[in-house]
């Protein structure tokens, strides 16, 4: 996308809009500061001793210490939590794609009267708040004997993202021209061959967007991980809140935990900002 | 003659019925293929999304004090209980306050900033990047960060002392006067930036000429914001309002859960947290699901009202 400045400077300055623009900059900068100062505070606190956090909260550390990371690891067993978070996220990602891609293909490319029914049912997913399902899903997990097992999250998480994944993927699959499909059919290609050689490659940007958006949600999920897992198997998000309750005033440990928890998503955000914003925007419009 | 005619028409009939049956066979095969591809996702969705939702209604009719205990059907008694439960009343009042302040204080600045960025003045890319950061941080990390802001030795008090406003310092999360405002502020802090970037995305889709021609007619930026940008993105404003409404109603409970557990006293109790509390702390599963049903109905009614208000009239 080419970003053309919308207004020429000369035209802009002729009337009272200068005030508007100054105000806009003022509010934007103020809000940016309100966002960045707490982030800066957490980032530097992770490398400071608790005493200097309390006495000079905004000063840069004189000596960088990794002591907080070491002790946070001891208090909350962060390495195991990191592995569990990774396993749950990857497992749920794969399962979501295995479920959503075929369904999106069916809705977008197999014309039957069922497609609109399926699309309608999936779109109901946007209306169901997670909190409303918390207790019933918990009971279901107990009943199938997966309470305290990370497997429960691998199985459950995909359901929460099927709606948006199917709808995003279907919109990509619809862009495949019918002629391409027909000529492949004439050459005797089967459905699975067409999916592999035509539909999947064309929908790849959509698949990547879906993978990124779902990664953020699965990695960041808190509530269901909290009630379904126990101390041995908790995810990173739960481990982070444990650091606080164990040592209520050692903020250096908490800050170190926050840094570890947010790094993977931060990397994704820096690399794929455009896809993330566009994906969330499309998800909001379609929902 | 008649025989030949019949024979002829029979031949035609059989030909067309053969054609008909291939069409029907194709149609049948298509349907089978559709189901083969679509059913797994549908089953997953029904079992883990729709069935739990229906189950919530069923459980709300039970008296069920903990997983290991037996449940008994008590009809609408859980709903009657709401009317005499002071805590439910406090939670409802707090959730109402949260919606009343949290929605406009996040959405109005967000729209202004989204519009401002859509002018593509120097620096808009940096703003867009920074504004979106809060939306990337998990609720747990965000709550822990705000714990560091609000604690007595935290940065909020440090900044206030720096500005010579020591009298304004508080133990923000422990003081009944400040606790709920502090909770509401978290969603405003995150919401403004996230929705601003979404508004930027929708306003970027408006054609440049709209702005340019309005400018040629001598319209100020305020006028363009009110007369062009807002009316043209009104439908999307409604969508964003719905998102934020549902967020405050349900997901915001996580901040309360991590930071205050509804306290001190009941000063930060919300309906969403009360649902969690009744299910997993007090172990009144039936009552917690009655609260869930109440929240769900409030949510649906709210969505319908928001849709009516923001219906695009063009």
**Cα(first)–Cα(last) distance of chain A, in Å?**
24
pLDDT of residue A15: 59
Domain ranges for chain A:
9-66, 69-286
Q: Count contacts between A and B (CB, < 8 Å).
A: 305
Closest CA to A261 of A225, A223, A232, A219: A219
Chain A contact for B220, CB < 8 A?
yes
- Average model confidence (pLDDT) for chain A? 89
More confident residue, B202 or A54: B202
Q: Tell me the pLDDT of chain A (287 aa) as tens digits.
A: 445 556 655 455 555 678 889 999 999 999 999 999 999 999 999 998 888 888 888 888 877 888 889 988 888 889 999 999 999 999 999 999 999 999 999 999 888 888 889 999 999 888 888 999 999 999 999 999 999 999 999 999 999 999 999 999 999 999 888 888 888 888 888 888 888 888 999 899 999 999 999 999 999 999 999 999 998 899 999 999 988 865 557 889 999 999 999 999 999 999 999 999 999 998 888 76
Q: Given pLDDT bands bounded at 50, 70 and 90, which one contains residue B212?
A: confident
User: B170 CA to chain A: closest CA distance, Å?
Assistant: 15
Per-residue pLDDT of B89-136, as tens digits, reads 999 999 999 999 999 999 999 999 999 999 888 999 999 999 999 999
Identify all chain B residues contacting A258, using CB atoms and an 8 Å cutoff: 141, 144-145
**Is the model's pLDDT at B218 over the cut of 80?**
no
3-state secondary structure of B11: helix
Q: How far apart (Å, rounded) are the C-alpha atoms in residues A241 and A131?
A: 19
pLDDT of residue B86: 94
Question: What Cα–Cα distance (Å) separates residue B306 from each residue in A120, A190, B115?
Answer: 21, 47, 22
Which residues contact residue A167 at a Cβ distance below 8 angstroms, ignoring those fewer than 6 apart? A104, A119, A122, A123, A283, A286, A287
Residues 207-226 of chain A whose Cβ lies under 8 A from any Cβ of chain B: 216, 219-223
pLDDT of residue B193: 96
φ, ψ of residue A222 to 5 degrees: the values are -120, -55
Q: How far apart (Å, rounded) are the C-alpha atoms in residues B242 and B205?
A: 21
Q: Closest chain B residue to A223 measured between Cα atoms?
A: B254
Residues 14-33 of chain A whose Cβ lies under 8 A from any Cβ of chain B: 15-17, 20-21, 24-25, 27-28, 31-32
User: A220 CA to chain B: closest CA distance, Å?
Assistant: 5
How many alpha carbons fall within 13 Å on the CB side of residue B220? 9
pLDDT of residue B116: 94
Q: How far apart (Å, rounded) are the C-alpha atoms in residues A102 and A96?
A: 10
Q: How far apart (Å, rounded) are the C-alpha atoms in residues B55 and A140?
A: 10
Q: Given pLDDT bands bounded at 50, 70 and 90, which one contains residue B236?
A: very high
Chain A contact for B156, CB < 8 A?
no
Closest CA to A150 of A141, A160, A140: A141
Residue in B49, B143, B193 nearest the CB of A133: B49
Burial class for B74, CB neighbours closer than 10 Å (0-12, 13-18, 19+): middle
3-state secondary structure of B107: helix
- Is B55 in contact with A111 (Cβ distance < 8 A)? no
Chain A contact for B246, CB < 8 A?
yes
Residue in B33, B45, B193 nearest the CB of A122: B45
Q: How far apart (Å, rounded) are the C-alpha atoms in residues B254 and B155?
A: 22
More confident residue, B7 or B217: B217
Chain A contact for B298, CB < 8 A?
no
Domain spanning A69-286, CATH class = mainly alpha
Chain B contact for A39, CB < 8 A?
yes
User: A93 CA to chain B: closest CA distance, Å?
Assistant: 14
Alpha helices in chain B (DSSP H): 2-45, 51-59, 77-84, 86-118, 124-136, 139-150, 155-162, 179-204, 208-216, 221-224, 230-232, 234-246, 253-259, 271-280, 285-309
Chain A contact for B276, CB < 8 A?
yes
Chain A contact for B300, CB < 8 A?
yes
| Interface predicted TM-score of the whole assembly (ipTM), two decimals | 0.90
- Is B215 in contact with A118 (Cβ distance < 8 A)? no
3-state secondary structure of A222: coil
Residues counted in chain B: 314
- Mean per-residue pLDDT for B71-85? 92
User: A62 CA to chain B: closest CA distance, Å?
Assistant: 19
């Amino acid at each position: 996308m080419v970003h053309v400045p919308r207004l020429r400077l000369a035209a802009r300055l002729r009337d009272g809009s200068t005030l508007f623009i100054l105000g806009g900059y003022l509010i934007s900068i103020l809000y940016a500061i309100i966002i960045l100062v707490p982030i800066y505070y957490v980032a530097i606190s992770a490398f400071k001793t608790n005493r200097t956090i309390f006495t000079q909260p905004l000063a840069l550390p004189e000596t960088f210490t990794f002591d907080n990371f070491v002790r946070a690891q001891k208090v909350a067993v962060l390495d195991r939590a990191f592995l569990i978070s990774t396993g749950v996220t990857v497992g749920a990602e794969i399962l979501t794609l295995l479920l959503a891609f075929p369904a999106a293909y069916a809705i977008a490319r197999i014309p039957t009267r069922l497609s609109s029914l399926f699309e309608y049912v999936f779109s109901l997913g946007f209306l169901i708040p997670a909190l409303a399902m918390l207790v019933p899903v918990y009971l279901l997990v107990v009943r199938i004997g997966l309470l305290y097992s990370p497997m429960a999250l691998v199985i459950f998480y995909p359901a929460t993202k099927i709606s948006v994944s199917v709808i995003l993927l279907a919109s990509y699959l619809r862009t495949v021209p019918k002629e391409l499909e027909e000529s492949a059919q004439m050459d005797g290609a089967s459905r699975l061959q067409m999916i592999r050689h035509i539909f999947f490659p064309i929908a790849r940007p959509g698949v990547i967007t879906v993978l990124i958006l779902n990664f953020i949600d699965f990695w960041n999920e808190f509530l269901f991980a909290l009630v379904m897992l126990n101390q041995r198997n908790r995810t990173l998000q739960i481990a982070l809140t444990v650091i606080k309750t164990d040592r209520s005033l050692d903020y250096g440990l908490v800050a170190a935990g926050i840094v570890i928890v947010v790094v993977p998503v931060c990397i994704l955000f820096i690399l794929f900002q455009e896809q993330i914003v566009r994906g969330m925007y499309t998800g909001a419009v379609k929902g | 003659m008649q025989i030949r005619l019949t024979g002829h028409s029979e031949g035609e009939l059989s030909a067309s019925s053969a054609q008909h049956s291939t069409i029907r066979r194709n149609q049948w095969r298509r349907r089978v293929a559709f189901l083969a591809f679509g059913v797994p996702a549908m089953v997953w969705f029904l079992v883990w999304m729709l069935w739990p939702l229906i189950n919530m209604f069923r459980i709300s009719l039970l008296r069920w004090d903990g997983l290991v205990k037996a449940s008994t059907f008590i009809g609408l008694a859980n709903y009657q209980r709401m009317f005499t439960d002071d805590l439910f009343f406090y939670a409802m009042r707090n959730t109402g306050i949260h919606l009343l302040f949290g929605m406009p204080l996040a959405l109005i600045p967000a729209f202004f900033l989204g519009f401002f960025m859509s002018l593509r003045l120097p620096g808009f890319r940096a703003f867009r990047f920074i504004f979106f950061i809060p939306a990337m941080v998990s609720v747990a990390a965000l709550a822990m960060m705000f714990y560091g802001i609000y604690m007595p030795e935290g940065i909020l008090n440090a900044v206030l002392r720096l500005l010579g406003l020591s009298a304004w310092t508080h133990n923000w999360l422990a003081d009944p006067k400040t606790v709920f405002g502090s909770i509401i502020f978290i969603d405003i802090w995150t919401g403004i930036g996230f929705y601003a970037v979404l508004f930027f995305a929708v306003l970027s889709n408006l054609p440049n000429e709209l702005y340019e021609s309005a400018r040629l007619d001598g319209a100020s930026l305020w006028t363009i914001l009110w007369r062009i940008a807002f009316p043209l993105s009104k439908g999307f404003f409604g969508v964003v309002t719905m998102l934020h409404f549902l967020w405050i109603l349900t997901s915001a409970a996580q901040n309360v859960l991590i930071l205050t557990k509804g306290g001190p006293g009941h000063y930060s109790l919300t309906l969403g947290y009360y649902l969690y509390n009744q299910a997993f702390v007090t172990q009144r599963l039936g009552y917690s699901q009655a609260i869930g049903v109440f929240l769900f109905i409030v949510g649906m009614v709210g969505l319908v009202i928001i849709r009516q208000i923001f219906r695009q009239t063009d």
